[in-house]
C-alpha cells in the first residue's frame, strides 16, 4: 500500500468518524426532544436541557480571571516560540503561525482580564 493511498484511507476514515459523531449527536437530541414533548403532553414539567444555561454554569469573574491568565501566558509562550523558530532558521509557515496564534490567544486572554476587572468593580458597588 502506497503512502498516498494510506493517507486517503486515513482521511476517509476521519470523515466517516466525523459524520458518525454528528449523526449520533443529532439522534440523541431528537430522542431528548421527543421525551420532552411526551412529558409536556402528559402535563409534566421536563427538566432543563443539558445545553441550556443554568445559573451555576454561567462564568463568574473568577473564571474569567483564570481563563484570562492562562490565555495570556499561552499567548506569551507562542510569541516566544515564534521568535525562537524565527531566529533558528529561515521564516516558514510554522513560524508565522506561532506569531499569529500567540497574538490571537494573548488578546483573548487580555479581553478576559479586562472583563474580570470590569465585573469585579461592578460587584464591589
More confident residue, 51 or 105: 105
Which pLDDT score, from 0 to 100, does residue 31 have? 93
Residue 119 has pLDDT above 80, yes or no: yes
Q: Compute the Cα dihedral for 65, 67, 68, 70 and give only its sign.
A: positive
Query: What is the per-residue pLDDT across 23-65, written as a single tens digit (0 to 9) for each?
Result: 999 999 999 999 999 999 999 988 887 655 555 566 788 888 8
Which pLDDT score, from 0 to 100, does residue 3 have? 67
43: left (phi over 0), alpha (psi -120 to 50) or beta: left
Which pLDDT score, from 0 to 100, does residue 60 have? 82
Which pLDDT score, from 0 to 100, does residue 53 have? 53
**How far is the C-alpha of 62 from the C-alpha of 39, rounded, in Å?**
38
Which pLDDT score, from 0 to 100, does residue 48 have? 80
- Of the chain, the percentage scoring pLDDT greater than 70 comes to 85
- Tell me what the pLDDT averaged over the chain comes to: 83
Binned at pLDDT 50, 70 and 90, residue 90 comes out as: low
Residue 64 makes CB contacts below 8 A (sequence gap 6+) with 112, 113, 115, 116, 119
64 exposed, middle or buried (CB, 10 Å; 0-12, 13-18, 19+)?
A: buried
The DSSP string of the chain is --HHHHHHHHHHHHHHHHHHHHHHHHHHHHHHHHHHHHHHHTT--PPPPTTSPPTTTSPPHHHHHHHHHHHHHHHHHHHHHHHHHHHHSS--HHHHHHHHHHHHHHHHHHHHHHHHHHHHHHHH-
Amino acid at each position: 500500500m502506497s503512502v498516498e493511498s494510506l493517507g486517503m484511507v486515513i482521511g476517509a476514515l476521519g470523515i466517516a468518524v466525523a459524520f458518525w459523531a454528528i449523526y449520533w449527536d443529532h439522534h440523541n437530541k431528537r430522542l431528548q426532544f421527543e421525551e420532552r414533548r411526551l412529558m409536556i403532553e402528559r402535563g409534566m414539567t421536563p427538566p432543563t436541557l443539558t445545553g441550556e444555561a443554568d445559573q451555576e454554569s454561567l462564568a463568574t469573574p473568577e473564571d474569567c480571571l483564570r481563563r484570562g491568565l492562562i490565555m495570556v501566558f499561552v499567548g506569551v509562550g507562542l510569541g516566544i516560540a515564534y521568535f525562537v523558530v524565527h531566529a533558528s532558521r529561515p521564516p516558514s509557515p510554522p513560524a508565522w503561525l506561532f506569531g499569529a496564534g500567540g497574538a490571537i490567544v494573548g488578546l483573548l486572554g487580555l479581553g478576559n482580564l479586562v472583563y474580570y476587572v470590569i465585573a469585579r468593580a461592578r460587584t464591589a458597588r
